[in-house]
Structure 1
Amino acid sequence: MARFSLLREEARRAWRELRGSDLSPARGAAAVAIGLFIGSQPIFGCHTPLVLLFCFWFRLDAAIAWVAANISNPFFAPALLTAEVQVGALLKRGEVLRLDQEVTHADAWARFAGYMFLGAPVVGIALAAGGALLTWGVVSLRRRFVAGSGLGPGPYRLPPDTPPWIQAVERVASRYCPERGYTATQRARFHYTRIKLISDPVARLVADIAGEQPGALGEVLDIGTGAGQLPLLLLDLGRATRVRGTDWDEAKIADARRAAAGLPAEMWRADAREAELGEADTVLLIDLLHYFRLPEQDAILRRAAAAVRPGGRLVIREADPSRRLRSVMTLLEERVFTAIRWNRGERVRFRHPQEFVALLEALGFRCDVRSAWGKTPFSNVLILAERPPEEVGAHHPC
């Protein structure tokens, strides 16, 4: 029953996303105008993708725009195309065509297609202007009697039986996208955060490492934090008392800072090879080391280990390159996301987890390697390295 309720709420959220933000007269008119203009162009098969692209970007009502774009349906298309051809002929020749005369197939392709592509933008602008004016009037009248409601992707009412984990993810994701005034980039970050935290098993694994008691992870330092969604989730769940995160991607750190506003959190831009780390009870290196050369990986690992307080832990997630098909899938995913610059790594270079374990054990850590791929097709493993409590007079090799 809980799963059905969540699916129902997700369907409602998807519908709200299609509807954009509050349907004001201006936004309604713009949505209809875009739909009519795109739908009247002779680019069949491209109408729906273009409508969705423009509406999502400008937060317009995609459902209304899609309906308007269907002006080129089989019932209206003949009249629409004829009007476009005639307008094109009028613009080019100064007179309309006599369609009662016999026209050869070659002549139709040579002349009619050119007239149609010339006249389509003009007809589209006229339809868009008329549709926008009509929509403006209708929505203005409607708003006199019906109060508008916010339709943004911010917090929304979850079913009462929603698991606490999903509630926490929802709260964290909502911090990346204000309920009002959000941008297309913020909306993308909001959805990415939700999908990432729910689908990636590392979030649950890290959250439960030290148990579920409040403050179990103490102060958390996340090196290569991206937009900071993992440490902020740990803070929301009460597993962390304070969080700090660093990343070299300025745009992601800017998102992290906005999301962390008002929380015991610090986010700053820095290169993991040079960042001033300080100390923490739990240090995270999640999907970071493989972006560096092997000597740099060792150096970063040593610096992260030195940042762990006595009795604390270092948590590393990396891919195991010996897992055959899983390893191939992981490498392919990383190369794709690096190529499109979503992950701004210099390279992708995996190594066997036991190499990290050997280095950490030489530094006095106790290590445990666990599978971390969950239901995904990847080869990720989690290395949990615990630093023993420092005894009086003892000197740690870090």
Structure 2
Amino acid sequence: MPLPKRTIAASFLPDRYRYYYSLSKLAMDPLYEAVPGAFDEDAEPLLDLGCGIGLLLHCLRASGRKVPYVGVDTDAAKIAAARVASTRGGHDNADFQVCDLSEQFPKHQGSVALLDVLQYLPHQAQGTLLSQAAQCVSKRGQLVIRTGLADGTWRSAMTRATDRFGHLVGWMKTSFKAQPSAQELRATLHRHGLHAEFKPLWGRTPFNNWLVLARRPAQG
């Protein structure tokens, strides 16, 4: 069932900039149609790292996923907008917190979402954040990542350029730092007992985005 894009975007009114931003993201970015499906059989509490204005929460609720949700982001203005929109949308069992993950990592056990965050961190910091996120994943939980990958393709170059542009126009506080490789991601997640599945998620966009679903293997 398609997402109610205009209804979700209306939660950000009267801020027309965020209304049109969210409407365009929901219309053009395949992430928001794809990610809720990853939680079809997942009832674990969800920690959304780098949640921005909280679009993932709205998409989950619109798709019938009622899991407890906590979103964290370093941008206080986005967190304020996320709280207001969540209330306007009537979403309960959800919380948003200002948090600098380089200084403090939330305590959590369950599932974790890490969407469009890794590319804004240097390689070493990527590994640290992935390790922290992986340690939060419970036996029935999962780590859901959306990231560009360093694979030498034209899509990879386009993704880097667009991320840098997003910083120049002021939407992202930090600029592009590095793309992880699939091998790096697999190795880090494997060290923490997670098996990763990679799916292309560029849809009709020119970007080299991938959806990574990482779970703990079922015990025999």
| TM-score normalised to structure 2 length | 0.91
Alignment of 1:28-47 (within 5 A): none
- The alpha carbon displacement at 1:219 in A equals 2.1
Instruction: Say whether the 8 Å CA contact 1:224–1:248 is kept in structure 2.
Output: yes
Pair 1:270 & 2:107 matched: no
Match of 1:243 in 2: 69
**Runs of 4+ with deviation above 6 angstroms:** none
- The alpha carbon displacement at 1:171 in A equals 2.4
Please give the alpha-carbon distance, in whole angstroms, between the structure 1 residues aligned to 2:32 and 2:23.
11
Match of 2:46 in 1: 220
Please give the alpha-carbon distance, in whole angstroms, between the structure 2 residues aligned to 1:207 and 1:228.
13
Cα 1:295–1:347 change in 2 (3 A) is same
Q: 1:259 aligns with which of 62, 65, 85?
A: 85
Cα 1:357–1:172 change in 2 (3 A) is same
- The alpha carbon displacement at 1:206 in A equals 1.0
- The alpha carbon displacement at 1:373 in A equals 0.6
Gaps of 5+ in 1: 1-163, 392-398
Q: C-alpha deviations, 1:115-142, integer Å up to 9, x for none? A: xxxxxxxxxxxxxxxxxxxxxxxxxxxx
Match of 1:136 in 2: none
- The alpha carbon displacement at 1:352 in A equals 0.8
Cα 1:332–1:347 change in 2 (3 A) is closer
Instruction: Say whether the 8 Å CA contact 1:364–1:387 is kept in structure 2.
Output: yes
Please give the alpha-carbon distance, in whole angstroms, between the structure 2 residues aligned to 1:339 and 1:273.
22
Pair 1:234 & 2:71 matched: no
Instruction: Say whether the 8 Å CA contact 1:318–1:353 is kept in structure 2.
Output: no
Partner SS, residue 329 of structure 1: helix
Q: 2:18 aligns with which of 158, 169, 189?
A: 189
- The alpha carbon displacement at 1:367 in A equals 0.9
Instruction: Say whether the 8 Å CA contact 1:235–1:242 is kept in structure 2.
Output: no
Match of 2:192 in 1: 363
Q: 1:176 aligns with which of 4, 8, 12?
A: 12
Amino acid corresponding to residue 247 of structure 1 in structure 2: D
Q: 1:310 aligns with which of 136, 139, 148?
A: 139
- The alpha carbon displacement at 1:353 in A equals 2.0
Pair 1:383 & 2:212 matched: yes
Match of 2:201 in 1: 372
Gaps of 5+ in 2: none
Pair 1:294 & 2:131 matched: no
Pair 1:202 & 2:31 matched: yes
Return the structure number with greater strand share: 2
Instruction: Say whether the 8 Å CA contact 1:174–1:190 is kept in structure 2.
Output: yes
Deviates more, 1:360-369 or 1:275-284: 275-284
Pair 1:166 & 2:3 matched: yes
Instruction: Say whether the 8 Å CA contact 2:3–2:33 is kept in structure 1.
Output: no
Amino acid corresponding to residue 24 of structure 2 in structure 1: I
Higher relative contact order (CA 8 A, sep 6+): 2
Match of 1:41 in 2: none
Please give the alpha-carbon distance, in whole angstroms, between the structure 1 residues aligned to 2:26 and 2:46.
17
Please give the alpha-carbon distance, in whole angstroms, between the structure 1 residues aligned to 2:217 and 2:7.
35
Instruction: Say whether the 8 Å CA contact 2:115–2:146 is kept in structure 1.
Output: yes
Instruction: Say whether the 8 Å CA contact 1:228–1:256 is kept in structure 2.
Output: yes
Please give the alpha-carbon distance, in whole angstroms, between the structure 1 residues aligned to 2:62 and 2:104.
26
Amino acid corresponding to residue 37 of structure 2 in structure 1: D
Q: C-alpha deviations, 1:13-60, integer Å up to 9, x for none? A: xxxxxxxxxxxxxxxxxxxxxxxxxxxxxxxxxxxxxxxxxxxxxxxx
Please give the alpha-carbon distance, in whole angstroms, between the structure 1 residues aligned to 2:151 and 2:93.
40
Return the structure number with greater helix share: 1
- The alpha carbon displacement at 1:280 in A equals 4.3
Please give the alpha-carbon distance, in whole angstroms, between the structure 2 residues aligned to 1:217 and 1:195.
29
Match of 1:343 in 2: 172
